[in-house]
Chains A and B, each alone.
Chain A
Amino acid sequence: MSDLALSRPAAVTDEPRATRYLLIGIVLVLISLLLFAPLVAVFSEAIRQGWAASIEALTSPDARSAIRLTVIVAAIAVPLNAVFGIAAAWAITKFDFRGKAFLITLIDLPFSVSPVVAGLALVLLVGANSSLGAWLVANDLKIVFAFPGIVLATMFVTFPFVARELIPVMIEQGRAEEEAALTLGANGWRTFFTVTLPNIRWALLYGVLLSNARAMGEFGAVAVVSGKIRGETTTIPIMIEMLYNEYLSVAAFSLAAVLALLALITLTLKSLLEWRHADVLAATRRH
Chain B
Amino acid sequence: MFRTIQIGAHVLAQGTYIRSFNDGRIEIATGRDSRLAGLPVQPGVSHGTHGGAGQKEMNGKGRGRIFAALAAIGLAFAGSTPAAAQDQVEILNVSYDPTRELYREYNELFHAWWNAQGHAPVTVSQSHGGSGGQARAVIDGLEATVVTLALSADIDAIAERTGRIPADWQARLPHNSSPYTSTIVFLVRDGNPRGIEDWDDLIREDVAVITPNPKTSGGARWNFLAAWAYAERNGLDPAEFVGAMFRNVPVLDTGARGSTTTFTQRGIGDVLLAWENEAFLALKELGEDAFDIVVPSVSILAEPPVTLVDGSITSDKQRAAAEAYLEHLYSPEAQALALRHYYRAWDTSLAAPEDLARFPDLELVTISDFGGWPVVQPKYFGDGGIFDQIYEE
Q: Tell me whether A and B are bound partners.
A: yes
Q: Show the binding face of A for B, using Cβ within 8 Å.
A: 123, 127-129, 133, 137, 142, 144-145, 227-232, 242, 244-247
Evaluate whether A127 and B125 lie within 8 angstroms (CB atoms) in the complex, with A244-B261, A245-B257, A246-B101 already known.
Answer: no
Q: Are B126 and A144 in contact (CB under 8 A)?
A: no
Q: B353 at interface (Cβ–Cβ under 8 A)?
A: no
Of residues 262 to 308 in B, which have CB atoms within 8 Å of A's CB atoms?
281, 285-286
A149 nearest in chain B by CB position: B141
Q: Are B100 and A129 in contact (CB under 8 A)?
A: no
Q: Are A231 and B140 in contact (CB under 8 A)?
A: no
Q: Are A144 and B128 in contact (CB under 8 A)?
A: no
Q: Are A129 and B140 in contact (CB under 8 A)?
A: yes
Candidates B126, B137, B261; contact of A145 at CB < 8 Å: B137
Q: Are A144 and B141 in contact (CB under 8 A)?
A: yes
Candidates A128, A230, A245; contact of B141 at CB < 8 Å: A128
Q: Which residues of A contact B137 (CB under 8 A)?
A: 145, 227
Chain B count of residues within 8 A CB distance of the other chain: 23
State A282–B261 Cα separation when bound (angstroms).
Answer: 50
Candidates A142, A231, A247; contact of B125 at CB < 8 Å: A231
Secondary structure of the A contact surface, majority rule:
loop
Q: Which residues of A contact B135 (CB under 8 A)?
A: none
Interface centre among B101, B127, B143, B285, by most chain A C-beta atoms within 10 angstroms, is B127
Q: Are B140 and A123 in contact (CB under 8 A)?
A: yes
B92 nearest in chain A by CB position: A229
Q: Are B141 and A137 in contact (CB under 8 A)?
A: yes
State A132–B139 Cα separation when bound (angstroms).
Answer: 15
Q: List 6 A-B contacts (CB under 8 A).
A: A142-B143, A144-B140, A229-B127, A245-B97, A245-B100, A247-B285
| Distance from B56 Cβ to chain A, minimum over Cβ atoms (Å) | 21
Of residues 126 to 163 in B, which have CB atoms within 8 Å of A's CB atoms?
126-129, 137, 139-143, 161-162
Secondary structure of the B contact surface, majority rule:
helix
Evaluate whether A128 and B126 lie within 8 angstroms (CB atoms) in the complex, with A245-B257, A245-B258 already known.
Answer: no
Of residues 90 to 135 in B, which have CB atoms within 8 Å of A's CB atoms?
92, 97, 100-101, 125-129
5 closest A-B pairs (Cβ-Cβ)?
A: A128-B141, A127-B140, A247-B285, A145-B142, A227-B142
Candidates B128, B139, B281; contact of A242 at CB < 8 Å: B128
Q: Are A128 and B258 in contact (CB under 8 A)?
A: no
B164 nearest in chain A by CB position: A128
Candidates B128, B162, B281, B285; contact of A228 at CB < 8 Å: B128
Q: Are A229 and B125 in contact (CB under 8 A)?
A: yes
State A133–B137 Cα separation when bound (angstroms).
Answer: 13
State A232–B94 Cα separation when bound (angstroms).
Answer: 13
Known: A145-B137, A228-B127, A229-B142. 18 other contacts (CB 8 A): A127-B140, A128-B162, A129-B141, A133-B141, A144-B140, A145-B141, A227-B127, A227-B137, A228-B129, A229-B126, A229-B127, A230-B126, A230-B127, A231-B125, A242-B128, A245-B257, A245-B258, A245-B261
State A252–B143 Cα separation when bound (angstroms).
Answer: 27
Q: Are B139 and A128 in contact (CB under 8 A)?
A: yes
State A48–B140 Cα separation when bound (angstroms).
Answer: 40
Q: Which residues of A contact B125 (CB under 8 A)?
A: 229-232
State A127–B143 Cα separation when bound (angstroms).
Answer: 11
Interface centre among B137, B258, B261, by most chain A C-beta atoms within 10 angstroms, is B137
Q: Which residues of B contact A129 (CB under 8 A)?
A: 139-141, 161
Q: Which residues of B contact A145 (CB under 8 A)?
A: 137, 140-143
Q: Which residues of B contact A246 (CB under 8 A)?
A: 100-101, 257
Interface centre among B92, B161, B162, B258, by most chain A C-beta atoms within 10 angstroms, is B92
State A123–B133 Cα separation when bound (angstroms).
Answer: 13
State A144–B257 Cα separation when bound (angstroms).
Answer: 24
Q: Which residues of A contact B127 (CB under 8 A)?
A: 227-230
State A227–B128 Cα separation when bound (angstroms).
Answer: 9
State A186–B60 Cα separation when bound (angstroms).
Answer: 79
State A122–B258 Cα separation when bound (angstroms).
Answer: 25
State A283–B155 Cα separation when bound (angstroms).
Answer: 65
A223 nearest in chain B by CB position: B129
Q: Which residues of B contact A242 (CB under 8 A)?
A: 128
Query: A-facing mask of B166-187, CB < 8 A → 1, else 0?
Result: 0000000000000000000000
Q: Which residues of B contact A247 (CB under 8 A)?
A: 281, 285-286
A129 nearest in chain B by CB position: B140
A242 nearest in chain B by CB position: B128
| Distance from A248 Cβ to chain B, minimum over Cβ atoms (Å) | 9
Q: Which residues of B contact A245 (CB under 8 A)?
A: 97, 100, 257-258, 261
A227 nearest in chain B by CB position: B142
Q: Which residues of A contact B101 (CB under 8 A)?
A: 246
| Distance from A94 Cβ to chain B, minimum over Cβ atoms (Å) | 42
